[in-house]
Protein backbone atom coordinates (compact mmCIF):
# COMPACT_ATOMS: atom_id res chain seq x y z
CA UNK A 1 0.00 0.00 0.00
CA UNK A 2 1.14 3.54 -0.69
CA UNK A 3 1.91 5.77 2.27
CA UNK A 4 1.12 9.45 2.50
CA UNK A 5 4.72 10.59 2.57
CA UNK A 6 6.01 8.97 -0.59
CA UNK A 7 5.49 11.93 -2.88
CA UNK A 8 7.49 13.63 -5.60
CA UNK A 9 8.92 17.08 -5.03
CA UNK A 10 8.18 18.10 -8.59
CA UNK A 11 7.70 21.82 -9.06
CA UNK A 12 4.88 22.49 -11.48
CA UNK A 13 5.37 25.07 -14.24
CA UNK A 14 4.32 28.60 -13.24
CA UNK A 15 2.29 30.74 -15.60
CA UNK A 16 2.50 34.48 -15.01
CA UNK A 17 -0.75 36.30 -15.81
CA UNK A 18 0.87 39.76 -15.60
CA UNK A 19 2.19 40.09 -19.19
CA UNK A 20 -1.18 38.97 -20.60
CA UNK A 21 -3.05 41.44 -18.40
CA UNK A 22 -0.72 44.26 -19.54
CA UNK A 23 -0.70 43.49 -23.27
CA UNK A 24 -2.32 40.27 -24.43
CA UNK A 25 -0.80 40.64 -27.91
CA UNK A 26 2.85 40.85 -26.73
CA UNK A 27 5.28 37.98 -27.48
CA UNK A 28 5.95 37.50 -23.76
CA UNK A 29 2.20 37.12 -23.10
CA UNK A 30 1.97 34.57 -25.91
CA UNK A 31 4.87 32.60 -24.44
CA UNK A 32 3.00 32.43 -21.11
CA UNK A 33 -0.12 31.18 -22.94
CA UNK A 34 1.96 28.29 -24.28
CA UNK A 35 3.24 27.55 -20.77
CA UNK A 36 -0.37 27.33 -19.56
CA UNK A 37 -1.51 25.02 -22.37
CA UNK A 38 1.54 22.75 -22.25
CA UNK A 39 1.47 22.43 -18.45
CA UNK A 40 -2.21 21.45 -18.50
CA UNK A 41 -1.59 18.93 -21.30
CA UNK A 42 1.39 17.35 -19.51
CA UNK A 43 0.44 17.61 -15.84
CA UNK A 44 -3.29 18.48 -15.79
CA UNK A 45 -2.20 21.25 -13.42
CA UNK A 46 -0.27 24.53 -13.33
CA UNK A 47 0.76 27.13 -10.77
CA UNK A 48 -0.56 30.61 -11.52
CA UNK A 49 0.97 33.93 -10.52
CA UNK A 50 -1.73 36.62 -10.48
CA UNK A 51 -0.56 40.10 -9.40
CA UNK A 52 -4.17 41.06 -8.60
CA UNK A 53 -4.56 38.61 -5.68
CA UNK A 54 -4.96 40.60 -2.42
CA UNK A 55 -2.91 38.71 0.21
CA UNK A 56 -5.25 39.55 3.09
CA UNK A 57 -8.35 38.23 1.30
CA UNK A 58 -7.35 34.55 1.57
CA UNK A 59 -6.52 34.97 5.28
CA UNK A 60 -9.85 36.70 5.97
CA UNK A 61 -11.59 33.89 4.08
CA UNK A 62 -9.76 31.11 6.01
CA UNK A 63 -10.48 32.86 9.35
CA UNK A 64 -14.19 33.16 8.54
CA UNK A 65 -14.54 29.51 7.49
CA UNK A 66 -12.63 28.28 10.57
CA UNK A 67 -15.03 30.27 12.77
CA UNK A 68 -18.06 28.97 10.86
CA UNK A 69 -17.13 25.27 10.96
CA UNK A 70 -16.26 25.54 14.67
CA UNK A 71 -19.97 26.24 15.41
CA UNK A 72 -22.26 23.47 16.75
CA UNK A 73 -23.45 21.03 14.08
CA UNK A 74 -27.11 21.85 14.83
CA UNK A 75 -26.46 25.46 13.77
CA UNK A 76 -24.61 24.46 10.59
CA UNK A 77 -27.34 21.97 9.68
CA UNK A 78 -29.75 24.89 9.13
CA UNK A 79 -27.66 25.86 6.10
CA UNK A 80 -28.14 22.49 4.35
CA UNK A 81 -30.25 22.42 1.18
CA UNK A 82 -30.67 18.71 0.33
CA UNK A 83 -33.74 19.62 -1.79
CA UNK A 84 -31.34 21.57 -4.05
CA UNK A 85 -28.91 18.65 -4.21
CA UNK A 86 -26.56 20.54 -1.81
CA UNK A 87 -25.63 22.82 -4.73
CA UNK A 88 -25.63 25.80 -2.34
CA UNK A 89 -25.09 26.02 1.42
CA UNK A 90 -23.39 23.47 3.64
CA UNK A 91 -22.74 19.74 3.22
CA UNK A 92 -21.84 18.15 6.55
CA UNK A 93 -19.06 15.59 6.95
CA UNK A 94 -19.55 11.97 5.86
CA UNK A 95 -21.99 13.02 3.11
CA UNK A 96 -19.76 13.47 0.04
CA UNK A 97 -18.56 10.19 -1.45
CA UNK A 98 -15.54 9.99 -3.74
CA UNK A 99 -16.79 8.46 -6.97
CA UNK A 100 -13.69 6.38 -7.67
CA UNK A 101 -14.61 3.22 -5.74
CA UNK A 102 -17.64 2.74 -8.02
CA UNK A 103 -16.15 4.12 -11.26
CA UNK A 104 -14.35 1.54 -13.41
CA UNK A 105 -12.08 3.94 -15.39
CA UNK A 106 -10.90 5.48 -12.10
CA UNK A 107 -10.13 2.08 -10.55
CA UNK A 108 -8.34 1.11 -13.78
CA UNK A 109 -6.23 4.26 -13.52
CA UNK A 110 -5.17 3.29 -9.99
CA UNK A 111 -4.35 -0.24 -11.12
CA UNK A 112 -2.05 1.15 -13.85
CA UNK A 113 -0.15 3.36 -11.41
CA UNK A 114 3.12 2.13 -9.99
CA UNK A 115 2.19 0.70 -6.54
CA UNK A 116 4.43 3.31 -4.88
CA UNK A 117 2.46 6.10 -6.56
CA UNK A 118 -1.05 4.89 -5.71
CA UNK A 119 -3.44 6.91 -3.55
CA UNK A 120 -3.86 5.97 0.10
CA UNK A 121 -5.74 2.71 -0.02
CA UNK A 122 -9.10 3.50 -1.59
CA UNK A 123 -10.58 0.22 -0.50
CA UNK A 124 -9.86 0.75 3.20
CA UNK A 125 -10.77 4.44 3.06
CA UNK A 126 -14.17 5.26 4.53
CA UNK A 127 -17.13 5.21 2.10
CA UNK A 128 -17.72 8.94 2.66
CA UNK A 129 -15.21 11.74 3.20
CA UNK A 130 -14.81 13.04 6.78
CA UNK A 131 -14.91 16.61 5.51
CA UNK A 132 -17.61 19.26 5.40
CA UNK A 133 -18.13 21.69 2.52
CA UNK A 134 -19.77 25.00 1.73
CA UNK A 135 -20.93 25.99 -1.76
CA UNK A 136 -21.19 29.73 -2.43
CA UNK A 137 -22.08 30.83 -5.94
CA UNK A 138 -20.02 33.53 -7.59
CA UNK A 139 -21.62 35.47 -10.43
CA UNK A 140 -25.26 35.90 -11.42
CA UNK A 141 -27.27 32.75 -12.08
CA UNK A 142 -29.36 32.73 -15.25
CA UNK A 143 -33.08 33.51 -14.68
CA UNK A 144 -35.06 30.31 -13.94
CA UNK A 145 -36.87 30.74 -17.26
CA UNK A 146 -33.53 30.80 -19.13
CA UNK A 147 -32.10 27.51 -17.88
CA UNK A 148 -33.10 23.87 -18.05
CA UNK A 149 -31.14 23.32 -14.82
CA UNK A 150 -32.54 25.67 -12.12
CA UNK A 151 -31.23 23.43 -9.29
CA UNK A 152 -27.65 24.00 -10.46
CA UNK A 153 -28.25 27.75 -10.43
CA UNK A 154 -29.88 28.29 -7.01
CA UNK A 155 -29.43 31.40 -4.88
CA UNK A 156 -26.86 31.56 -2.08
CA UNK A 157 -27.42 30.75 1.59
CA UNK A 158 -26.06 33.28 4.13
CA UNK A 159 -25.51 31.62 7.54
CA UNK A 160 -27.74 33.27 10.15
CA UNK A 161 -25.10 33.01 12.90
CA UNK A 162 -24.33 35.96 15.17
CA UNK A 163 -21.34 34.32 16.93
CA UNK A 164 -17.97 35.72 15.81
CA UNK A 165 -19.94 38.18 13.59
CA UNK A 166 -20.20 35.36 11.04
CA UNK A 167 -23.38 36.65 9.41
CA UNK A 168 -21.99 40.18 9.06
CA UNK A 169 -18.58 39.11 7.74
CA UNK A 170 -19.91 36.44 5.39
CA UNK A 171 -21.14 38.12 2.15
CA UNK A 172 -18.24 40.54 1.60
CA UNK A 173 -15.51 38.07 2.61
CA UNK A 174 -16.88 35.27 0.42
CA UNK A 175 -17.50 37.59 -2.51
CA UNK A 176 -14.05 39.19 -2.40
CA UNK A 177 -12.15 35.89 -2.31
CA UNK A 178 -14.51 34.20 -4.76
CA UNK A 179 -14.30 37.07 -7.24
CA UNK A 180 -10.50 37.07 -6.95
CA UNK A 181 -10.32 33.36 -7.73
CA UNK A 182 -12.81 33.70 -10.56
CA UNK A 183 -10.83 36.56 -12.08
CA UNK A 184 -7.68 34.42 -12.08
CA UNK A 185 -9.45 31.54 -13.85
CA UNK A 186 -11.20 33.84 -16.35
CA UNK A 187 -7.79 35.11 -17.43
CA UNK A 188 -6.17 31.67 -17.40
CA UNK A 189 -9.05 30.33 -19.54
CA UNK A 190 -8.32 33.03 -22.14
CA UNK A 191 -4.60 32.24 -22.04
CA UNK A 192 -5.27 28.52 -22.36
CA UNK A 193 -7.43 29.16 -25.45
CA UNK A 194 -4.64 31.21 -27.04
CA UNK A 195 -2.03 28.60 -26.08
CA UNK A 196 -4.15 25.90 -27.77
CA UNK A 197 -4.47 28.05 -30.91
CA UNK A 198 -8.20 28.67 -30.37
CA UNK A 199 -10.33 31.84 -30.31
CA UNK A 200 -9.16 33.72 -27.18
CA UNK A 201 -12.64 34.07 -25.66
CA UNK A 202 -13.97 30.61 -26.52
CA UNK A 203 -13.88 29.27 -22.93
CA UNK A 204 -14.70 32.54 -21.14
CA UNK A 205 -17.83 32.95 -23.29
CA UNK A 206 -18.94 29.37 -22.62
CA UNK A 207 -18.53 29.95 -18.88
CA UNK A 208 -19.84 33.54 -18.63
CA UNK A 209 -22.92 32.46 -16.66
CA UNK A 210 -21.53 29.18 -15.37
CA UNK A 211 -22.51 27.90 -11.92
CA UNK A 212 -19.11 28.96 -10.49
CA UNK A 213 -18.70 27.94 -6.87
CA UNK A 214 -16.45 29.01 -4.07
CA UNK A 215 -16.28 25.58 -2.46
CA UNK A 216 -14.17 25.45 0.71
CA UNK A 217 -13.91 22.15 2.59
CA UNK A 218 -13.39 21.82 6.34
CA UNK A 219 -11.67 18.97 8.16
CA UNK A 220 -11.59 18.90 11.96
CA UNK A 221 -7.98 17.98 12.72
CA UNK A 222 -8.74 17.24 16.37
CA UNK A 223 -10.97 14.34 15.31
CA UNK A 224 -9.45 13.48 11.92
CA UNK A 225 -5.81 14.47 12.41
CA UNK A 226 -4.16 11.02 12.60
CA UNK A 227 -1.32 10.33 10.17
CA UNK A 228 -2.57 8.81 6.88
CA UNK A 229 -6.23 9.77 7.41
CA UNK A 230 -7.89 10.27 4.01
CA UNK A 231 -9.76 13.60 4.22
CA UNK A 232 -10.85 13.50 0.57
CA UNK A 233 -10.52 10.29 -1.45
CA UNK A 234 -8.88 9.99 -4.89
CA UNK A 235 -11.07 11.71 -7.52
CA UNK A 236 -11.27 14.22 -10.35
CA UNK A 237 -13.49 17.32 -10.31
CA UNK A 238 -16.43 17.56 -12.69
CA UNK A 239 -16.12 21.26 -13.43
CA UNK A 240 -13.90 22.95 -16.07
CA UNK A 241 -11.00 24.27 -13.97
CA UNK A 242 -10.46 24.09 -10.19
CA UNK A 243 -8.36 26.74 -8.49
CA UNK A 244 -6.86 26.54 -4.99
CA UNK A 245 -5.46 29.26 -2.80
CA UNK A 246 -3.01 28.37 -0.04
CA UNK A 247 -4.38 26.22 2.77
CA UNK A 248 -2.90 26.58 6.27
CA UNK A 249 -2.25 22.83 6.34
CA UNK A 250 -0.55 20.83 3.55
CA UNK A 251 -2.08 17.52 2.48
CA UNK A 252 -3.24 17.96 -1.14
CA UNK A 253 -1.63 15.42 -3.48
CA UNK A 254 -2.13 15.60 -7.24
CA UNK A 255 -1.23 13.15 -10.00
CA UNK A 256 0.47 14.45 -13.11
CA UNK A 257 -1.38 12.65 -15.89
CA UNK A 258 1.52 12.04 -18.24
CA UNK A 259 3.92 10.85 -15.59
CA UNK A 260 1.75 8.92 -13.14
CA UNK A 261 3.69 10.51 -10.29
CA UNK A 262 2.05 11.65 -7.10
CA UNK A 263 2.99 15.24 -6.29
CA UNK A 264 2.60 16.90 -2.89
CA UNK A 265 1.32 20.38 -3.69
CA UNK A 266 3.24 23.33 -2.33
CA UNK A 267 1.78 26.67 -3.33
CA UNK A 268 4.49 29.34 -2.88
CA UNK A 269 3.88 32.31 -0.56
CA UNK A 270 2.69 35.41 -2.36
CA UNK A 271 0.28 35.86 -5.28
CA UNK A 272 0.26 32.18 -6.28
CA UNK A 273 -2.66 29.84 -6.90
CA UNK A 274 -2.86 26.24 -8.13
CA UNK A 275 -5.13 25.34 -11.04
CA UNK A 276 -6.16 21.81 -11.98
CA UNK A 277 -8.09 20.60 -15.03
CA UNK A 278 -11.61 19.23 -14.46
CA UNK A 279 -13.65 16.78 -16.52
CA UNK A 280 -15.51 19.50 -18.50
CA UNK A 281 -12.14 20.68 -19.87
CA UNK A 282 -11.20 17.07 -20.66
CA UNK A 283 -14.53 16.67 -22.48
CA UNK A 284 -14.27 19.77 -24.70
CA UNK A 285 -10.61 19.06 -25.55
CA UNK A 286 -11.42 15.46 -26.46
CA UNK A 287 -8.96 14.16 -23.87
CA UNK A 288 -6.03 16.38 -24.95
CA UNK A 289 -6.14 17.81 -21.44
CA UNK A 290 -7.03 15.17 -18.87
CA UNK A 291 -8.85 15.97 -15.64
CA UNK A 292 -6.33 15.82 -12.80
CA UNK A 293 -6.72 13.24 -10.04
CA UNK A 294 -6.13 14.39 -6.47
CA UNK A 295 -6.65 13.44 -2.82
CA UNK A 296 -6.31 15.20 0.53
CA UNK A 297 -4.59 13.28 3.32
CA UNK A 298 -3.00 13.88 6.69
CA UNK A 299 0.75 13.50 6.11
CA UNK A 300 3.84 14.44 8.13
CA UNK A 301 3.77 17.99 6.75
CA UNK A 302 0.14 18.34 7.87
CA UNK A 303 1.12 17.24 11.39
CA UNK A 304 4.03 19.71 11.45
CA UNK A 305 1.64 22.51 10.45
CA UNK A 306 -0.80 21.44 13.20
CA UNK A 307 1.97 21.65 15.78
CA UNK A 308 3.03 25.08 14.52
CA UNK A 309 -0.52 26.41 14.45
CA UNK A 310 -1.21 25.21 18.00
CA UNK A 311 1.89 27.05 19.15
CA UNK A 312 1.31 30.26 17.22
CA UNK A 313 -2.49 30.55 17.40
CA UNK A 314 -3.61 28.37 20.33
CA UNK A 315 -7.05 30.00 20.51
CA UNK A 316 -7.99 29.35 16.88
CA UNK A 317 -10.11 26.34 15.79
CA UNK A 318 -7.92 23.46 14.54
CA UNK A 319 -9.77 23.04 11.26
CA UNK A 320 -8.19 22.54 7.84
CA UNK A 321 -9.96 24.79 5.34
CA UNK A 322 -9.28 24.26 1.66
CA UNK A 323 -9.43 27.43 -0.39
CA UNK A 324 -11.14 25.86 -3.41
CA UNK A 325 -13.08 27.37 -6.32
CA UNK A 326 -14.88 25.45 -9.12
CA UNK A 327 -15.14 27.26 -12.47
CA UNK A 328 -17.93 25.77 -14.60
CA UNK A 329 -19.07 26.07 -18.17
CA UNK A 330 -22.72 27.22 -18.35
CA UNK A 331 -25.24 24.52 -17.42
CA UNK A 332 -27.06 24.95 -20.77
CA UNK A 333 -23.85 24.89 -22.86
CA UNK A 334 -23.49 21.86 -25.13
CA UNK A 335 -20.04 20.28 -24.81
CA UNK A 336 -18.59 18.75 -27.94
CA UNK A 337 -14.87 18.01 -28.40
CA UNK A 338 -13.07 20.76 -30.35
CA UNK A 339 -11.71 19.27 -33.57
CA UNK A 340 -8.27 20.90 -33.35
CA UNK A 341 -7.80 19.50 -29.83
CA UNK A 342 -9.00 16.02 -30.81
CA UNK A 343 -6.44 15.97 -33.65
CA UNK A 344 -3.66 16.94 -31.24
CA UNK A 345 -4.80 14.39 -28.67
CA UNK A 346 -4.55 11.64 -31.30
CA UNK A 347 -1.07 12.79 -32.32
CA UNK A 348 0.04 12.80 -28.70
CA UNK A 349 -1.28 9.32 -28.10
CA UNK A 350 0.24 7.90 -31.30
CA UNK A 351 3.95 7.39 -30.84
CA UNK A 352 4.09 8.07 -27.16
CA UNK A 353 3.18 6.53 -23.86
CA UNK A 354 0.68 8.96 -22.38
CA UNK A 355 1.04 7.51 -18.92
CA UNK A 356 -1.32 5.53 -16.75
CA UNK A 357 -4.28 7.90 -16.96
CA UNK A 358 -6.65 7.00 -19.80
CA UNK A 359 -9.17 9.67 -18.84
CA UNK A 360 -12.50 9.68 -17.09
CA UNK A 361 -14.28 8.25 -20.14
CA UNK A 362 -12.15 5.10 -19.96
CA UNK A 363 -11.26 5.53 -23.64
CA UNK A 364 -14.89 5.46 -24.81
CA UNK A 365 -14.98 8.99 -26.22
CA UNK A 366 -16.80 12.15 -25.27
CA UNK A 367 -20.41 12.29 -26.51
CA UNK A 368 -22.15 15.60 -27.16
CA UNK A 369 -23.91 16.60 -23.97
CA UNK A 370 -25.16 19.64 -22.06
CA UNK A 371 -23.04 20.61 -19.05
CA UNK A 372 -26.09 20.45 -16.75
CA UNK A 373 -26.89 16.88 -17.86
CA UNK A 374 -23.27 15.90 -17.30
CA UNK A 375 -23.18 17.38 -13.78
CA UNK A 376 -26.51 15.78 -12.79
CA UNK A 377 -25.34 12.39 -14.05
FE1 LIG B 1 -11.61 17.77 -5.84
Instruction: Look over the chain and give the mean of its residue pLDDT values, rounded to a whole number.
Output: 88
Q: Flag whether pLDDT at 297 surpasses 70.
A: yes
Share of the chain above pLDDT 90, in %: 63
Contact 314, 288 (CB under 8 A): no
Q: Flag whether pLDDT at 62 surpasses 70.
A: yes
236 Cα–ligand 1 center, Å: 6
Q: What is the pLDDT of residue 106?
A: 81
Q: What is the pLDDT of residue 356?
A: 47
Biggest distance spanned by C-alpha atoms of the chain = 61
Q: What is the pLDDT of residue 360?
A: 57
92 Cα–ligand 1 center, Å: 16
282 Cα–ligand 1 center, Å: 15
User: What's the average model confidence in pLDDT over 185-194?
Assistant: 98
344 Cα–ligand 1 center, Å: 27
pLDDT classification of 266: cutoffs 50, 70, 90: confident
Q: Is the pTM of this model over 0.85?
A: yes
97 against 40, higher pLDDT: 40
302 Cα–ligand 1 center, Å: 18
152 Cα–ligand 1 center, Å: 18
pLDDT classification of 186: cutoffs 50, 70, 90: very high
Q: What is the pLDDT of residue 357?
A: 52
235 Cα–ligand 1 center, Å: 6
Contact 10, 265 (CB under 8 A): no
260 against 211, higher pLDDT: 211
Q: What is the pLDDT of residue 362?
A: 54
74 Cα–ligand 1 center, Å: 26
pLDDT classification of 2: cutoffs 50, 70, 90: very low
Q: How far apart are CA 242 and CA 289, in angstroms?
A: 14
CB-count burial class (<10 Å; 0-12, 13-18, 19+) for 172: exposed
Least-confidence region, from 105-119, 238-252, 271-285, 312-326 = 105-119
Residue 132 Rama label (left phi>0; alpha psi -120 to 50; beta) = beta
182 against 264, higher pLDDT: 182
351 Cα–ligand 1 center, Å: 31
Q: Name the nearest CA neighbour of 260 among 292, 236, 283, 301.
A: 292
Q: What is the pLDDT of residue 269?
A: 85
19 Cα–ligand 1 center, Å: 29
Q: In CATH, what number does 14-376 get?
A: 2.60.120.330
Q: Flag whether pLDDT at 125 surpasses 80.
A: no
25 Cα–ligand 1 center, Å: 34
243 Cα–ligand 1 center, Å: 10
Q: Flag whether pLDDT at 104 surpasses 90.
A: no
129 Cα–ligand 1 center, Å: 11
Q: What is the pLDDT of residue 376?
A: 80
Q: Flag whether pLDDT at 327 surpasses 60.
A: yes
156 Cα–ligand 1 center, Å: 21
295 Cα–ligand 1 center, Å: 7
Q: Flag whether pLDDT at 168 surpasses 90.
A: yes
12 Cα–ligand 1 center, Å: 18
Q: What is the pLDDT of residue 118?
A: 85
User: What's the average model confidence in pLDDT over 230-236?
Assistant: 87
Amino acid sequence: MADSNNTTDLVLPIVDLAPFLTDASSPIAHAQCLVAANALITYGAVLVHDPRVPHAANDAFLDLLEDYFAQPTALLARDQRPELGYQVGVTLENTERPRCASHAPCLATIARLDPAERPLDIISAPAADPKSRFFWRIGDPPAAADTAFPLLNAHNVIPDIAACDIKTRWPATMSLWGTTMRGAVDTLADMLAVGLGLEPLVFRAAGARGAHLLAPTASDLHRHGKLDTVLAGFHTDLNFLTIHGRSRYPGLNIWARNTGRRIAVRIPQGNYLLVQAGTQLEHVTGGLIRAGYHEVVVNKATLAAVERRQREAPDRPLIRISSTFFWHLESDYTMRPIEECVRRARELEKGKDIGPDRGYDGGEGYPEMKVGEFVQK
